[in-house]
Structure formats: structure tokens, C-alpha cells
Structure 1
Amino acid sequence: MKIPVLNIGQFRESAPLNDVYVNSFSNHIQLNKHLINRPHTHNFYLCVLFTEGTGTHEIDFNSYSINPGKVFFLKPGQTHFWKFETPPEGFIFFHSQEFYDLKFLGHTINSFPFFGSYQNPPVLQLDSQKLNDLKSKFRDVYTEYLQTHLLRELKIINTLNNIYIELTRVYTADINLEKLTSPNYSNILENLENLINIHFYKEKFPKFYADKLNISTKHLNRVVKQTINKTTNQLIFERVILEAKRMIVHSHDNLATIADTLEFSDYAYFSKFFKSKTGMTPLGFRKKYFYKTNLK
């Protein structure tokens, strides 16, 4: 595949800190337009707050509107790109998993719901009051990033953690916390998604993943059903389809080669499978995607 994978070292504006980057959004896109002017992915966790501007943000083939108060979260490996209708402004920061997890040994970055399951929406809309509150915190971390004061890194990580906590409270405001799935089920789901990401090319049946997790297939299906109301098969097939879409539009491989890479027995079976899940053939999806992109 030809999707560029960007790393934190490619983005620098002030005296660098290991594994973290902070900037105003307008400055970020001006400095890095050569890196982000086409669909790409990252090897880090990203958070952006928009205070001005409109447009669309496509994340793994799902389109979201950009407007003031919108917050986006991206995990490593997700493909995305921006398309702006009016000039954007706001703040952006990203960091490696180690930058956060090594500072908070009792709490990992994936514990935040927007960075947990891939089933959780990667977007949040803030009301005007919360936007003002969070804008101040984003500005504080950006100001600190530009300085070289004593304990700079410690202040940055503490401010980022505070931002994540505030965003989590808004993100979960409509959730009955007493009815949340048990932490054990959430951990199984997270581990399942990680295993699927590693093995989905070759392993497309639930039993393989249940064995890896040392639980029965029946219990695995129960966990997935109770946490996200889907089946294990659905999760596996969704990951296969996502990768197929990425390869169809971001690589120059012919469709038969893509079918082979995804370890389907032949192109006819791959095409039938793809159409059953998306409503169109791989060729039809490629044509529709590029037609839509050219209209933008």
C-alpha cells in the first residue's frame, strides 16, 4: 500500500520534546502542508480542537463535518484527510503511546473512551461554554510547548491529561455509568481488536481469536454482543472491508492482487464478499470514491 505513515519527528516547530508535538492548527497546516495534503496515517495519538472554520474530515471512509467546537481523536493506523471550505483555526497535539503510558502507570491512553474501541466515535461536539473552557487549556499547553521552562515536559503531560479528563466527561455525559460494561469485558474487546488488527489477513474465524484470548468462542461472542451489540464475525469482516477499501483507493495494485493480499481464494469470491458488505463491487467502489473526490 502507498498510504504515507507520518511520525512525530517530521513535525517540529519549537525545541523538540521526545514523542510529543503541539501547535495552533493554522500554523500546523501551513508548516506541514507537504505532509498532509493527501490521505495519510500516523504512528501516534492525535487530538485536534477547531475554534474556527468549516469543511469535512474523512476518517477511514467516514465523513464528519468540521465546525467550531468540534474535537477529533485519531489512533495510530487510522487513515484520514482534511478538506476545508473556510479557513480553520484551533489547536492540535499528538504524542506516542509511550509518552503517556510511561507517565501514568495506573492508567493507559487506551482507557479514554475515544481512544479505546474502534467502535467508539472519533468525534465530539462541544457547546460554546465548554469550547471556551477547553480552548483555554489547549492554549496553555501550546504556550508551554513553545517555552523552555523548568519542568516543561511535566507541565505539558499534566495539562494534556487534564484535557483528556475534561473531554472524557463530555464524551460520556449521556452514558449511564452504572450500566457501563465491566472492565473485564472492555479489556477483552480491546485485546480482540488488537488481535484482529494483527491477524485478519489470514485468520477470519472467531475460534482463532477465542483461542488466543483463552476463552470459549461462545463467551467471546457474548462479550462482543454485550459491549458493542455486534458479533465477532462482524468485527472481523469490518476490519477486512476497511483494509480492502484502503487498498482499493490508496494503492495502485489491481483488484486481483488486492484479493490475493487479503488471502481470498480468488477475485470472484473477494468481489462477492465485498459487495455483500458494501452494496457495490470493488471496481464500483474505486470508481465512486475517485468520482466523489474529484467533485470536492
Structure 2
Amino acid sequence: MQIVPVLHIEQFKEENALVEFYSNDLCKHLETNRKIVHRPHKHDFFLCVLFEKGNGTHEIDFSSYPINDGSLFFLKPGQTHSWSFNAPPQGYIFFHTQSFFELSVADVKLNQFPFYYSYKNPPHLNLSTSEQGKIATRFKEINVEYQGNGVYKKQKLASLINLTYIDFSRLYAFDVSENTLSSTYLKILSDLEHAIERYYKTEKKAHFYADKLNITTKHLNRVTQTTLGKTTTELITERILLEAKRLIVHSENPLSQVAESLGYEDYAYFSRVFKAKNQTTPLEFKKRYL
């Protein structure tokens, strides 16, 4: 059975380096780790990559994004991604665990930053030439600090990441209301995504998640509609179908077994749900993707 590998930050650990943080020149990173990053994979950490020079495609959870000069990407743990290049890219990459950041930076949570607060927010920015220069300076400073052995290294790296994420947030343009960024709505949305992640294979009704969060179904829908423009049921279904796509493409299981593993004993019904959202049947999707 073929599965999507999950890469752990320890796999990238260099001698005398921090266990929960990693930074490198992008070319060196891709060359050094070519055996483990050459095919679709997941991470158990947060990742940021800047392409100063690049041409190709970056696929994240079955959505494709062009790689150009000034492309900036940020990934949360659990997202499946892969990339292909028309020429060797240039840039920088860094990644870290949640605890590395949140235990070092007081009163700041990663899901407060707009590009991390929901899986539904775009995982990229296209930087202008001037913006790229400023962000590249941040990445270089982080990389220099990581490669060095200065005192308070961990503390400085955490501070640099915080400043970098603030810069990202200022550039991250999206149309939302003030309620979307309120701490209350952010907390509900984050708790909902965690609950869906835990129960989506068996629980598919909005009221189940509302009960888990100790709020009404109506209020939960108000939060999801305000922040993401979608109902709670739509979010649940999207998570199910994302996993379905991963299993259809990256495993050798029969399609009926894929449906059953996601809580659908009737494959015909599962196929109708899949087609209604993707305009193609599971079998057609597998053939087209492969």
C-alpha cells in the first residue's frame, strides 16, 4: 500500500543544530534532501519558502500554484505538497515546530497570523520586486543566525520569525471583516478545524461539532460564514473529500475501500457526493490525476 510520507523536522537536523528549527539556502536544501522531497509528502511542522528565482508549479492539497520570481509559500502541518521546476530555483527555506515559536514568543499564537489561521486561506503571496527584497533580507538574516553559534540563538531566531510573520501579515491582502480577525472567532474556527480533523471520518453533521464547541449550530455557521464564506457542513465535506483525493491518488486501495474508510458504506452515494463537489467521479479523478 502506497501512502503519503510524513516528514519530521528531525530528518533535516544538522550537526550542532536546533532540533525544532531548520533554515537553509533553497538550492542546498533541495540537493541535500533530494531523496525525501522528490515526491508528494506531508510535514509535522510549519514551513515557509521564498523563491527569489523560480519557474515551475507547487501543488498543495491538489491545488496548483505557479512558481515565479517572488513567490512566497507557507504550509501548516498535515498539508500534502509537491513541486516541479523547469530550472533549479533560488531562494531560502525555513521551518519550525509549533512549540519552538509559541514557547519562545510570549502571548503570540501561530493561528493569529492570517496565512495560518485557517487551511482555507491561500498559502502563498506573489511579491513585487521591492517587497521581495525586504522579505529576502529577513530570510537571509534568519539563515545566517541559524548557521551561526551565537549566544541566545534560539531566542533571536524566534524573534526574527515573529518579525518576519508580521511582515508577511502586512503584505497578505484579503477581503474580510473585522469580525473575522477577532480573537473569539479565530478561536472558534481553530477549535472547529481541530474537531473536524479528529472526527470527520465518523461525524458529518454540523450539530455534532457545535455541541463539541458548546455553542449553537446557528452561531457556528455564523462564524464559518463570516470568516470563510462557507457553512459548517461545507467545511466538513471539503475535509472528507480532500482525504478522499489523497487516498484515491496515493494509495492502492479499491475505491470502495476508500469510501468505507471515510464512513461511507454505500459507494454509490459516496461517488455522488464526490462528483457533486468535483464534477467528476472518483474513478475519473484517479485516471485524470495519474
Distance 1:232 1:178 in 2: 20
| Pairwise CA distance, 1:228 | 1.3
- Following the alignment from structure 1 to structure 2, what is the Cα–Cα distance between the partners of residues 252 and 155? 46
1:294 aligns to what?
none
Deviations 1:228-265 (A, max 9, x none): 11111100000010000000001111111101100102
Rate the CA distance shift 1:176–1:263 in 2: closer, same or farther, 3 A: closer
Q: Which residue of 2 aligns with 1:80?
A: 81
Cα separation, 1, equivalents of 2:180 and 2:8 = 34
Partner of 1:214: 214
Structure 1: which 5+ residue stretches go unaligned?
Answer: 291-296
1:119 aligns with 2:107: no
Aligned to 2:235: 235
Q: What percent of counterpart residues are identical?
A: 47
Asked if structure 2 preserves the Cα contact closer than 8 Å seen for 1:14 and 1:145, the reply is no
> Judging changes above 3 Å, is the alpha-carbon distance between structure 1 residues 157 and 181 closer, same or farther for their aligned structure 2 residues?
closer
1:192 aligns with 2:167: no
TM-score (structure 2 length as normaliser):
0.96
Q: Does 1:35 align with 2:36?
A: yes
- CA distance, structure 1, for counterparts of residue 157 and residue 214 of structure 2: 39
Deviation at 1:105, TM superposition (A): 3.2
Shift of 1:272: 1.4
Q: Map 1:1-296 to 2 at 5 A.
A: 2-172=3-173, 175=175, 178=178, 180-290=180-290
Distance 2:258 2:286 in 1: 12
CA separation in 2, counterparts of 1:221 and 1:160? Answer: 34
User: How far apart are residue 181 of structure 1 and its match?
Assistant: 4.5
Give the CA deviation at 1:153. Answer: 1.4
Superposed structure 1 runs of 4+ greater than 2 Å apart: 12-15, 174-183
Contact residue 42 and residue 81 of structure 2 kept, 8 A: yes
Q: Distance in 2 between matches of 1:107 and 1:181?
A: 14
When residues 69 and 245 of structure 1 are mapped into structure 2, their CA distance, relative to the original with a 3 A threshold, is: same
Per-residue deviation, 1:151 = 1.4
In the TM superposition, residue 182 of structure 1 has moved relative to its aligned partner by 2.8
Contact 2:200–2:240 under 8 Å retained in 1: yes
Work out the number of aligned pairs and report it: 289
Per-residue CA deviation, residues 161-217 of structure 1 (Å, 9 max, x unaligned), is: 111111111114x65775654321221111111110110000000010000000111
TM-score, normalised on structure 1? 0.94
Following TM superposition, by how much is the alpha carbon of 1:122 offset from its aligned partner in structure 2, in angstroms? 0.2
Task: Say if 2:105 and 2:158, in contact at 8 Å, map to a contact too.
Answer: no
CA separation in 1, counterparts of 2:175 and 2:15? 39
User: Are 2:20 and 2:100, in contact at CA under 8 Å, matched by a contact in 1?
Assistant: yes
Contact map agreement 1:15 1:146 (CA 8 A) in 2: no
CA distance in 1, matches of 2:160, 2:238: 36
